[in-house]
Amino acid sequence: MKFFVGQKKRVLAKLNQKTSVSDLFNFTQEERLMVSTLGGILKNIYIEQGKEHMELISDVEYVYTSEAKLLIDKRINFMAETTTNTTSEKIKDELVKSQELNETKQELAERLTKTYDDILLNRAETIARTETHYLLQNATLDASKQNGNENKEWIWTAGVKGGVREDHLHMDGTEIGINEEFRLPSGASGLVPGATGNAADDINCQCTMI
Ligand SMILES: [Zn+2]
């Protein structure tokens, strides 16, 4: 995700020897930038899926409603807040370590570069995948509801790394009312796969609904 490349540059540009996380990392600005950078992309993903799913199941045209806009905005704001928080905490930890070790500005710069390399290598893709999946499933549900479908079904799909979540496999074929929540063995529940609010169930989940 290019967003983090830009953020890394902004953080490193503010670096000097005596520094605190608030000097380096403008939380409000980063959070807003994430919303504005990714908001449009995620909204388009949702609308495209709404249209595509509607074409599959009906002749009716998909309508992008204010309710859908609200759901997307809420999710983007939540993602930006939690992600920015995690990054800010990580930078704070690295600053403490660097100060304890009496590192030079150069060493601190290298340390923070590694922090961002790690974000780009590991977290960025997971965030993108999880958020995309959340929106795709909600858009599918949206179109199904507009079409007047009364039920929906959980379809199990292997995880990204090919792993099998027994709990999710167990859900395969579960059919419930369109407005009901799927209840997982973990106790978590949600209207669509990938939207239970339980990170262990949602992150990298590739299950779908029809
Ligand atoms: Zn799953």
For residues 31 and 8, state if they share a domain.
yes
For residues 133 and 174, state if they share a domain.
no
User: What is the Å distance from ligand 1's center to 9 Cα?
Assistant: 35
Predicted local distance difference test score (pLDDT) of residue 94: 95
E strand or H helix at 190, and its extent? Answer: strand 189-190
Tell me how many domains the chain contains.
2
Residues 6+ apart with CB under 8 A from 157: 206, 207, 208
User: What is the Å distance from ligand 1's center to 159 Cα?
Assistant: 7
For residues 78 and 167, state if they share a domain.
no
For residues 64 and 167, state if they share a domain.
no
Instruction: Quote the CA–CA distance of 112 and 80 in Å, as a whole number.
Output: 20
For residues 141 and 157, state if they share a domain.
no
For residues 157 and 113, state if they share a domain.
no
For residues 77 and 159, state if they share a domain.
no
Predicted local distance difference test score (pLDDT) of residue 18: 62
User: What is the Å distance from ligand 1's center to 108 Cα?
Assistant: 39
User: What is the Å distance from ligand 1's center to 193 Cα?
Assistant: 6
For residues 112 and 201, state if they share a domain.
no
Instruction: Quote the CA–CA distance of 33 and 29 in Å, as a whole number.
Output: 6
Predicted local distance difference test score (pLDDT) of residue 32: 96
User: What is the Å distance from ligand 1's center to 187 Cα?
Assistant: 14
Predicted local distance difference test score (pLDDT) of residue 107: 94
User: What is the Å distance from ligand 1's center to 1 Cα?
Assistant: 23
**Amino acid at the residue 136:** L
Of 149, 168, 186, the one marking the end of a domain is: 149
User: What is the Å distance from ligand 1's center to 100 Cα?
Assistant: 42
Residues 6+ apart with CB under 8 A from 154: 171, 172, 173, 174, 175, 182, 193, 207, 209
User: What is the Å distance from ligand 1's center to 131 Cα?
Assistant: 14
For residues 36 and 135, state if they share a domain.
yes
Cβ atoms within 10 A of the Cβ of 1, count? Answer: 18
One-character DSSP codes across 150-184: -EEEEE----TTS---HHHHHHTT-EEETTSPEE-
For residues 136 and 157, state if they share a domain.
no
Predicted local distance difference test score (pLDDT) of residue 102: 93
User: What is the Å distance from ligand 1's center to 50 Cα?
Assistant: 21
In a 10 Å sphere around its CB, with 0-12 CB exposed, 13-18 middle and 19+ buried, how is residue 42 labelled?
Answer: buried
Q: Residues whose CB is under 5 A from ligand 1 (ion)?
A: 168, 205, 207
Name 168's bridge partners.
none
Q: Which residues span the domain enclosing 162?
A: 150-210
User: What is the Å distance from ligand 1's center to 191 Cα?
Assistant: 13
User: What is the Å distance from ligand 1's center to 140 Cα?
Assistant: 16
Of 123, 149, 175, the one marking the end of a domain is: 149
For residues 98 and 132, state if they share a domain.
yes
Of 113, 130, 149, the one marking the end of a domain is: 149
Name 189's bridge partners.
183
What tokens appear for 129 in the block? 């995948």
**pLDDT, averaged in runs of 10, over the chain (210 residues):** 89 78 89 93 96 94 96 95 95 94 93 94 90 96 97 90 84 96 94 93 91
User: What is the Å distance from ligand 1's center to 173 Cα?
Assistant: 12
For residues 32 and 131, state if they share a domain.
yes
